[in-house]
Structure 1
């Protein structure tokens, strides 16, 4: 894993600017005023990642109802993410952390240097850019949808 360490809840979330599936830059700083969920995942088209993101897709109303924008990030190239997004009909942005490879994942302490991919880390950033919740799961362990729901409820409280 990266040496940067996972940012602590209550601190300012690390910035990131990454291309979406069409090459348009998406900057966390430009989303200030809106809460954002940043969800890092290892690989497009892989079994656990597909199951996790499809579960988020199917429960996108929970994010919409809380006014939270969902950004899913991996180190896959933009074109692979576009193909996967079109196949699965994801209603949220998939962002490519391909180059500089893993820079955003490193900033969030979830880059696996040995394998060159992001670990399963999720971060909820409030409208002021402060980290309000995070979870990082070990390799092969999906994040439960209930954890997102609890974090969204706490943000709204």
Structure 2
């Protein structure tokens, strides 16, 4: 699993940002601190609440110079619809091939529902050098991150 102090795994994936564009993570280290907020699935209760909370608090994150990206295995077109319905202004990365959740070791299953290979609810903060400065991973998909703790992690992300 990726730990604090590790180099953040790089990736290239579709970004749902109202359009669908190619997104290479390392090209965005200059937006640091960068928050990668992994969530199991668009249009679900806790995931919707989590992404809406990031949106509601986005000014606080941006005031600290941070950039937020959501990450899920949903298709980019579904993520754009989710962005529209929830009025999200930040981009959502589509990991439909499940390479990112594999690289960050945050894959989980809902075996009782027959649904496999979704993102564990988790947050990684990456500094301008591409180093992970904060990590939070939950085995309980019903738990949201501590948004204040994420904000506090930015102090260690300054370059």
What TM-score comes out, normalization by structure 2 length?
Answer: 0.88
Matches within 5 A, 1:44-63: 44-63=42-61
Root-mean-square deviation (CA, aligned residues, Å) is: 1.6
1:112 to 108, 120, 145: 108
Deviation at 1:144, TM superposition (A): 2.2
Which sections of structure 1, spanning at least 5 residues, go unmatched?
1-5
Taking CA–CA contacts closer than 8 Å with sequence separation of 6 or more, which of the two structures ends up with the larger relative contact order? Answer: 1
2:31 aligns to what SS in structure 1?
coil
What TM-score comes out, normalization by structure 1 length?
Answer: 0.89
Q: Go from structure 1 to structure 2 and tell me whether the alpha carbon gap of 1:141 and 1:43 turns closer, same or farther (over 3 Å shift).
A: same
Deviation at 1:148, TM superposition (A): 1.5
Q: Deviations over 1:49-68 (max 9, x none)?
A: 01111011000012111111
1:116 aligns to what SS in structure 2?
strand
2:10 to 6, 15, 25: 15
Q: Is the 8 A contact 1:66 1:156 kept in 2?
A: no
Size of the alignment, in residue pairs?
150
Q: Is the 8 A contact 2:134 2:150 kept in 1?
A: no
Supply the distance in 2 between the matched residues of 1:87 and 1:64 (Cα, whole angstroms).
22
Which sections of structure 2, spanning at least 5 residues, go unmatched?
none
